[in-house]
Structure 1
Amino acid sequence: MVTQIEDKSNAMGKNNSMEAILGELSETRFNKIKHISETVSTNSDLVLKASELSDGFILVSDHQTGGRGRLGRHWEAPPFKNLLFSVLLHPNWEMERHQLVTPALALSTVEVLEDFGLRASIKWPNDVMVETEGDKKIAGILSEYIQQENPVLVVGMGLNNRWPQQEDLAPPNSTSLIACGIEKDRWEVLIEILKNFEKRLVEISSEEGSATFRQSYISKSSTIGSQVKVEKSDGDIEGDAIDVREDGSLVVENKNGTTLIIEGDVIHLRKV
């Protein structure tokens, strides 16, 4: 299904483009797409329509005025510059694996960036980093679970494609594909990420696959092997990040023992 674009003058061309994108994704669950010019948040839009939408529905926006990160943080990129999308999933795996969706999309993105020739990694829990004069953030992910008769997950990503560049006023330690010397059409990037994401979702839905997924994730983690500070609402924890469990939780070790971290902001202090 392709949703009609509001601009009648070029709707035919855009619909043809959307059909081509869905053709590329024909072997995945991502077979319905809507492209809009502006919204407050693609995640919020899908959450509101969660009971009406089928598994794999994709929403892509040219601009978000209220893009949200973890802990309600706000960010906004100029229109048409970056890849801004959310997908809705009907999970067919056990509930304790829901939080693997964020690392699954992060890992899928890292693999695409590596194919582009970049050195990329995952900063727990939801950031994708590239190595360019130090680690810089190129993408962030936000997942939300909606409890209803048929529960769903909404996972959204903002990936910096053409913004920021070096001269732009942007969040600290952020970068983009164009700033890294990579010029790609955002739709091409979306297709490749979703193809990988499909494989990783299949992986986390099986008992055997979740173990192999964990190993793949750890191999791309910039957090494992670092001394970290985890900022949590009930108190900060410092220690060595030594592992990620199969449910996606971070294992931090210090003189008091080991702690499982389910959520929190991680600051990398130094490599162990």
Structure 2
Amino acid sequence: MFVDLEERIRKEEKISSFINNVVILEEIDSTNSYAKELKDQVDGTLIVAKEQTQGRGRNNRTWKSFGEKNLTFSLIVNYPEDKEALGLFSLLSANSVAATIEELGLIPEIKWPNDILINSRKVSGVLCEAVFDNNKPRSLIIGIGLNVNSNKDDFYSDDFVYRLEPTSLSIEGKKEYSSNDLVVILIRNLINWITLFKLKKYETILSFWRARWIDIGSELVVTQDQMVLKGNAIDINSKGELLFLEKETKKVHVINSGELST
């Protein structure tokens, strides 16, 4: 796994001009946690783990990795100058995974803000975290987990309760995939979307995301801290925040964090 990965990255000009460091770990608790602890937060540092033992998702949920059957990595990028558009990083990261899945001939779906599904089953998740020093932003870490070659026996080998039914590329595509190839494809797509962000092509990011969004118009429950709202997801705004129409009051709420359920 990841044999000659760094060499492949260096050979592809578009990727090598963006990726400055490649760190390949045999085992780590979390690639995002490892990235956050690095003294030097160098833009374009890629951290890939063969085994992640304590993967994290949004709201500190557990992300199960199953060793070399799945892909887990983090990418350190400079904290964006346009802080108002920071929330778009979750969306563009989801777009990168969706674009990768489409290159494989599969059809991705996105749940707000960054769960990626195939056939209504979760195949990937994204966790973006900012790193601060004395309350000043230093960097942004994009963590991506992608179920590649895991099977149903892997997912249900214990009593773990999934929020969304899991799946993998191999289950959906009915074949095994190369993690090496997927890292390269995924990083290439991620660079494309980050480049669009830097060019302030925000509407391009939003439009791609919306076209794959499966929650729009759905009746949902939003749980945010102690607040519970029932209603419909009607759109996202220019910051990637959810616009939620509360059923009882007809009030439109702007949701930037929280839990969605049916």
TM-score, normalised via structure 2 length = 0.89
2:41/2:76 contact within 8 Å kept: yes
What secondary structure, in the 3-state scheme, does the structure 2 residue paired with 1:197 have? helix
Aligned residue for 1:39?
A: 28
1:136 aligns with 2:121: yes
Match of 1:189 among 179, 182, 194: 182
1:253 aligns with 2:245: yes
1:106 aligns with 2:100: no
Q: What one-letter code is carried by the residue in structure 2 that aligns with 1:63?
A: E
Aligned residue for 2:159?
A: none
- Residues 5-16 of structure 1 mapped to structure 2, 5 A cutoff: 14=3, 16=4
Distance across 1 between alignment mates of 2:94 and 2:175: 19
2:91/2:206 contact within 8 Å kept: no
Query: Structure 2: which 5+ residue stretches go unaligned?
Result: 157-161
Structure 1 stretches (4+) deviating beyond 4 angstroms? none
Aligned residue for 1:166?
A: 152
- Residues 19-168 of structure 1 mapped to structure 2, 5 A cutoff: 19-24=7-12, 26-27=14-15, 28-49=17-38, 51-131=39-119, 135-148=120-133, 149=136, 151-163=138-150, 165-168=151-154
Cα RMSD of the aligned pairs, angstroms, is 2.0
Instruction: Quickly say closer, same or farther: Cα 1:169–1:129, change in 2 above 3 A.
Output: closer
2:94/2:114 contact within 8 Å kept: yes
1:93/1:206 contact within 8 Å kept: no
Percent identity between the two aligned chains: 27
Instruction: Quickly say closer, same or farther: Cα 1:89–1:235, change in 2 above 3 A.
Output: same
1:17, distance to aligned residue in structure 2 (A): 3.8
1:88/1:155 contact within 8 Å kept: yes
Aligned length: 250
Aligned residue for 1:205?
A: 198
Aligned residue for 1:3?
A: none
Aligned residue for 1:215?
A: 207
What secondary structure, in the 3-state scheme, does the structure 1 residue paired with 2:116 have? strand
Aligned residue for 1:7?
A: none
Q: What one-letter code is carried by the residue in structure 2 that aligns with 1:46?
A: A
2:31/2:48 contact within 8 Å kept: yes
Distance across 2 between alignment mates of 1:35 and 1:65: 15
TM-score, normalised via structure 1 length = 0.86
1:31, distance to aligned residue in structure 2 (A): 3.3
What CA deviation, in whole Å up to 9, does each residue of 1:69-128 have, x standing for no partner?
111122332221100100001034311222211111111111111121211111112211
Match of 2:232 among 229, 240, 247: 240
Query: Structure 1: which 5+ residue stretches go unaligned?
Result: 1-9
Q: Which moved more, 1:183-192 or 1:32-41?
A: 183-192
